[in-house]
Structure 1
């Protein structure tokens, strides 16, 4: 894994831990053109897992997580992210599948960031 992707994953993990009280257990990220695509595994806290045992609870956890993360990124990019990739953060597209505790976030930047990314476009992971 490249140092750049490792540091990018650390930024994501720290932000989500501060926001939700628990960061993802594993993050797999790939840089493609002007995007960073991150798949996050093991996101839900024990309280969220308990709430999500019902259909209404799943919807509540999904809505809260999706809206909270969007609102954080709407105000500004996390500290150090733009400097790390050498581009201005434009937008975050994010969703979570509560049943499988998997989230995907697509970070869009104003110019290509993959020139410093992984060779051959292969995904990198942190655990």
Structure 2
């Protein structure tokens, strides 16, 4: 199985466990020591309902970005490290609530070989 597919499957599993719904589509590319993943169709029906107001959008955005960053800071993604073949260093993550698109940039300790 290709590394990109393994990374996508891992992301989908983690997000489904954390939020009750995984992304509908994920596209991952490797750039140097980073795995850059675009995630489409992330929000649950409840989050979409909450995000109908500016305050709700901010709440969903904050909850999603903080929860994702917290999970990776507390739990080393051993399964992902095994697939990539290097140690996980940091995650940068953001989501655009209006377009329901998220990005996750996984930084590793060395260049990722295809």
RMSD of equivalent CA atoms: 0.9
Per-residue CA distance 1:68-102 (angstroms, 9 max, x = gap): 00000101233410010000000000000000000
TM value normalised by structure 1: 0.87
- The runs of at least 4 aligned residues of structure 1 exceeding 2 Å deviation read 76-79
Structure 1: where are the runs of 5+ without partners? 117-127
Q: State the match for 2:34 in structure 1.
A: 35
TM-score normalised according to structure 2 size: 0.97
1:48 alignment partner in structure 2: 47
Runs of 5+ in structure 2 lacking a partner? none
Alignment length, in residue pairs? 114
Deviations 1:4-49 (A, max 9, x none): 1101100000000000000000001000110000000000000000
Higher RCO (C-alpha under 8 Å, 6+ residues apart): 1
